Every structure is written in C-alpha cells, then in structure tokens.
Amino acid sequence: MAKMKKTEVKPFKEMLLILRARLRGDVSTLANAALSKSSGGGSGSSSVPSHIADIGSDTFEQDNTILLMNNEGETLSQIEAALERIEEGVYGSCIECSGRIPKMRLKTIPYTPYCVKCASQLESENY
Ligand SMILES: [Zn+2]
C-alpha cells in the first residue's frame, strides 16, 4: 500500500487545517499567516508572526481557487475526511482504488480522496 511519510503529509495537514478554519469562519489573519509561512518552507514552529498585518490579499486570492472548486459544505466534509485519513496514516491513497494520489494533485486539492483516474470516472458518472 502506498503510504506517505509523516514529513510528506505535514504540509498538506497544515493546509487542510487552515482551509478548515477558514471555511468555518474561525480565523482569517491567523490562517493567512500560517499559510504564507508553511509555503515558505516552514521550520515547524507554530508561533504566530507579529507582522500579520503586512500580509496582503495575494495569498487569500490564491486560496480561493481551491475553495471555489466545490461548495463550502461539501469541501468542509472532505477536509474533515482527509484529516481523518491523515490520522489513520492512509492520506495520499485513493479511497477507490488504493492507488497513490500524485503530490501535484494534492497540492491543488489537498482534501481529495481520489486519484486522477477515479475522480474523472466519478465526475463522468455525475454529469
Ligand atoms: Zn483511484
């Protein structure tokens, strides 16, 4: 079975936690700070930088492309499921065929439970 290492999963977990927080409407400044930090090759510290106010809207706009791919309620439940798969150590594996989901795909849709092949099959069934 194709498993991702914990260190490989970590940045995706952070992305998922940030997306979830934002979808729930918890935080925006905190989430933005964490995101811009983790994309810069984070050191693992969880302290919040003091220059939050300096962070512009660029990061926010980039993220919206992720969120707009689904409606928010559906996305949120997919994020929850993805976080559960991280805890179970099966994140990064397709829940349909158990194949490995390419990292490029996870970077675009970190909460996807399917590989490219299965996702396109499911989509063609839905439409
Ligand atoms: Zn698959």
| Distance from the alpha carbon of residue 20 to the mean position of ligand 1, in angstroms | 24
Ligand 1 centre from 64 Cα, in Å?
26
Asked whether the beta carbons of 111 and 81 are under 8 A apart, the reply is yes
What is the C-alpha radius of gyration for the chain, rounded to an integer number of angstroms? 15
> Is 0.95 surpassed by the pTM of this model?
no
Nearest CA to 101 out of 123, 111, 116, 80 is that of 116
Contact 99, 93 (CB under 8 A): yes
Please give the distance, rounded to the nearest whole angstrom, from the Cα atom of residue 123 to the centre of ligand 1: 13
SS3 90: coil
According to CATH, the topology of domain 6-126 is Four Helix Bundle (Hemerythrin (Met), subunit A) (1.20.120)
CA of 97 to the centre of ligand 1 (A): 4
Enumerate the domain spans of the chain.
Answer: 6-126
CA dihedral sign, ordered 85, 87, 89, 91:
positive
Per-residue pLDDT of the chain (127 residues; tens, 9 = 90+): 557 899 999 999 999 999 998 888 865 555 555 556 554 444 444 555 555 445 444 454 455 544 444 577 888 999 999 999 999 999 999 999 999 999 999 999 999 999 999 999 988 876 5
Q: List, in sequence order, every residue forming a beta bridge with 100; answer none if it has no partner.
A: 93
